[in-house]
Amino acid sequence: MALACGLAVQHAGGAVAPPAPHGVTPTSAQVAHAARPFYTFCHFTVDTFTGAEWGSGAEKPAIFNPSAFDANQIVTSLKAAGARGVILTCKHHDGFCLWPTKTTPHNVSASPYKDGKGDIVREFADACKKHDFELGVYVSPWDRNSEHYGTPKYVTDVYHEQIRELTTQYGKLFEVWFDGANGGSGYYGGKGGKRRIDAKTYYNWQVAWDMVLKNQPEAIIFSDVGPGVRWCGNEKGHAGDPCRATIDFPPGEGFGNVNTGRLNAGTLGGKLWIPAEVDVSIRPGWFFHENENPRSPENLMQIYLDSVGHGATLNLNVPPDKRGLLHENDVESLKQLGAHLRQTFAVNLAANATAKASNTRGNDPAYGPDKMLDNDVWSAWVSDDAVTTPEVELALAVEKSFNLILLREDIRLGLRLEGVAVDAWLDGQWKELAKAESVGSCHLWRVAETRTNKVRIRVTKSPVSPALSDFGLFLEPAFAPWVPPLGGATKP
Ligand code: FUL
């Protein structure tokens, strides 16, 4: 069982043909994205040195001077948490570029960092390569520094060109992140004032996104409305339950104009496959502030269950401090989260169970219920087309105690399930432990610790034959009290 809800790629079909996909299905890039459901954000720029959350654009590049920046320390600390990649704020709303872009002098080459010869994006790219970590980029559309912001020139000569530089000069990117905050007051080359734009049309998104996908065919594009992943509708760490990967946007809704409730839940039978991404910070702010402390490992685990465990991906922000390092308290919290995840998912207590299904597609063993337990997340238990509410009983060789349940659908066949329950055999009868209206790439349920030798999976509602690819029972350990190594609000 992979640490996170991991997915492989081939479908092990049998003599009998697999069922037809139901509704919209993910692209291969989206399938690969579901296999790395936990990754990170790194908010780092002039704000790190001013204490602002949104720089005005008037910041002097001279203030960007991390004393001990080490992308390797950042990447290895993030990796220790079990994350698979990092998305760097190459440019936030203040317009300061962390790479020596040709589009504006307002960049790292005008700073004292490495005497103006530094390139923070390059150092991240190198560290990611070295530590087998994926790299993504955040490049803010809103630019409070650029004098051209609000004119067509900004879009073609500055913004699109910045996207081109980032998607062609730093190797493979797994995600390109487009923020929805747009327009308003700023420095704007010293002219100041407010600039209003139409977020839907101004940036010429289709041209920008086509370019991203041409340069990085495997990258996932994030924006409030996708097209690769969508915003989950809040920055608190909660995907809905259900949080369907499918969604429809009614006329009028789109980039810059979204319904957060819809983003949080998705749409049953929606025509677009755009799963939710949960972006949340380990600290109260997106940028590092000395008087703040990181979340505890226990709180991070709750967020993991509320995001990855609801079929979304988790993008956890961990901001470097003024040294250009992740703070000791954050590093420890990440390390403990990683250890907890590894321990929790180390042993699938259902792995050696004997599985008996009420129905198996064409009686073909290639679709048998043991395919949910074979550690191959792409082989699935599938029923006959006409059988939409089948059941599986799992007999464990001996009684086991568990408190966490995992279920996955084979998402390559679409979102098929609309109702499922898991029961345990207790005191001579079945007791329902967990249920859900949607499963998708992963559903995790924390349940009261249960000891039994028999469990049952009941599909209660499905418009077509379900295809369940993975089932797990785990015993999540308790958390020790969280004691940040450097205590409360403190400098390193
Ligand atoms: C928001 C931005 O305005 C915040 O500063 C941050 O970058 C967050 C991830 O997205 O829309």
Please give the distance, rounded to the nearest whole angstrom, from the Cα atom of residue 292 to the centre of ligand 1. Answer: 18
Please give the distance, rounded to the nearest whole angstrom, from the Cα atom of residue 44 to the centre of ligand 1. Answer: 12
Q: pLDDT category, 489, cuts 50, 70, 90?
A: low
Q: Is the per-residue pLDDT at 163 higher than 80?
A: yes
Atom from ligand 1 closest to the CA of residue 92: 7
Please give the distance, rounded to the nearest whole angstrom, from the Cα atom of residue 459 to the centre of ligand 1. Answer: 39
Q: What is the pLDDT of residue 377?
A: 72
Atom from ligand 1 closest to the CA of residue 279: 9
Q: pLDDT category, 8, cuts 50, 70, 90?
A: very low
Q: Using one digit for the tens of pLDDT, what is the confidence trace for 272-282?
A: 999 999 999 99
Q: What is the pLDDT of residue 3?
A: 32
Give residue 121's identity as a one-letter amino acid code. Answer: V
Residues 6+ apart with CB under 8 A from 279: 41, 231, 232, 235, 315, 317
Atom from ligand 1 closest to the CA of residue 179: 11
With vertex at residue 285, the alpha carbon angle to CA 281 and CA 286, rounded to the nearest 5 degrees, is 60
Q: Using one digit for the tens of pLDDT, what is the confidence trace for 185-244?
A: 999 999 999 999 998 899 999 999 999 999 999 999 999 999 999 999 999 999 999 999
Q: Is the per-residue pLDDT at 13 higher than 60?
A: no
Q: Where are the domains of the chain?
A: 37-344, 354-474
User: Between these two residues, 378 and 122, which has the higher pLDDT value?
Assistant: 122
- Name all residues whose Cβ lies below 6 A of ligand 1: 53-54, 179-181, 279, 286
Residue nearest ligand 1's atom 3 by CA: 181
Please give the distance, rounded to the nearest whole angstrom, from the Cα atom of residue 137 to the centre of ligand 1. Answer: 13
Please give the distance, rounded to the nearest whole angstrom, from the Cα atom of residue 54 to the centre of ligand 1. Answer: 8
- Best mutation site among 46, 89, 98, 286 for ligand 1, i.e. most ligand atoms within 8 A of its Cβ? 286
Please give the distance, rounded to the nearest whole angstrom, from the Cα atom of residue 93 to the centre of ligand 1. Answer: 9
User: Between these two residues, 290 and 394, which has the higher pLDDT value?
Assistant: 394
Q: What is the pLDDT of residue 356?
A: 98
Class of domain 37-344: alpha beta
Are the beta carbons of 420 and 459 closer than 8 angstroms? yes
Q: Is the per-residue pLDDT at 12 higher than 80?
A: no
Atom from ligand 1 closest to the CA of residue 180: 11
- Best mutation site among 179, 234, 260, 277 for ligand 1, i.e. most ligand atoms within 8 A of its Cβ? 179
Task: State the average pLDDT for the chain.
Answer: 95
Q: What is the pLDDT of residue 85?
A: 98
- Give the 3-state secondary structure of residue 446: strand
Q: Is the per-residue pLDDT at 10 higher than 90?
A: no
Overall average pLDDT of the 267-275 stretch: 98
Q: Quick one: what percent of the chain has pLDDT higher than 90?
A: 92
Q: Is the per-residue pLDDT at 352 higher than 50?
A: yes
Q: pLDDT category, 11, cuts 50, 70, 90?
A: very low
Please give the distance, rounded to the nearest whole angstrom, from the Cα atom of residue 117 to the centre of ligand 1. Answer: 28
Please give the distance, rounded to the nearest whole angstrom, from the Cα atom of residue 16 to the centre of ligand 1. Answer: 49
Are the beta carbons of 228 and 175 closer than 8 angstroms? yes
Q: Using one digit for the tens of pLDDT, what is the confidence trace for 421-468?
A: 999 999 999 999 999 999 999 999 999 999 999 999 999 999 999 999
37-344 and 354-474, same CATH topology: no
Q: What is the pLDDT of residue 14?
A: 62
Overall average pLDDT of the 45-54 stretch: 98
Please give the distance, rounded to the nearest whole angstrom, from the Cα atom of residue 179 to the centre of ligand 1. Answer: 6
With vertex at residue 339, the alpha carbon angle to CA 334 and CA 344, rounded to the nearest 5 degrees, is 125
Are the beta carbons of 334 and 38 closer than 8 angstroms? no
Q: What is the pLDDT of residue 183?
A: 81
Q: Is the per-residue pLDDT at 490 higher than 80?
A: no
Please give the distance, rounded to the nearest whole angstrom, from the Cα atom of residue 235 to the centre of ligand 1. Answer: 9
Atom from ligand 1 closest to the CA of residue 140: 7
Q: What is the pLDDT of residue 7?
A: 36
Instruction: Write the CA distances from 17 to 367, 417, 471, 487, integer angstroms.
Output: 10, 20, 23, 59
Atom from ligand 1 closest to the CA of residue 287: 5
Q: Using one digit for the tens of pLDDT, what is the confidence trace for 100-140?
A: 999 999 999 999 999 999 999 999 999 999 999 999 999 99
Q: What is the pLDDT of residue 380?
A: 96
Name the pairing type of β-strands 220-222 and 173-177: parallel
Q: d(Cα 264, Cα 269) in Å, to the nearest integer?
A: 15
Name the pairing type of β-strands 276-281 and 313-317: parallel
Please give the distance, rounded to the nearest whole angstrom, from the Cα atom of residue 56 to the centre of ligand 1. Answer: 14
Q: pLDDT category, 6, cuts 50, 70, 90?
A: very low
Correct CATH for 354-474 of 3.40.50.300, 2.60.120.260, 1.10.630.10, 2.40.110.10: 2.60.120.260
Q: Using one digit for the tens of pLDDT, what is the confidence trace for 234-246?
A: 999 999 999 999 9
- Give the 3-state secondary structure of residue 48: helix
Residue nearest ligand 1's atom 10 by CA: 179
Q: Is the per-residue pLDDT at 164 higher than 50?
A: yes
Q: What is the pLDDT of residue 4?
A: 37
Q: What is the pLDDT of residue 259?
A: 96
DSSP string, 425-448: EETTEEEEEEEES--TT-EEEEEE
Q: What is the pLDDT of residue 487?
A: 78
Q: What is the pLDDT of residue 411?
A: 97
Atom from ligand 1 closest to the CA of residue 53: 5
Q: What is the pLDDT of residue 491?
A: 56
Min mean pLDDT across 252-261, 268-277, 339-348 is at 252-261
- Best mutation site among 138, 225, 235 for ligand 1, i.e. most ligand atoms within 8 A of its Cβ? 235
Please give the distance, rounded to the nearest whole angstrom, from the Cα atom of residue 275 to the centre of ligand 1. Answer: 19
- Specify the DSSP class assigned to residue 107: B
Atom from ligand 1 closest to the CA of residue 177: 9
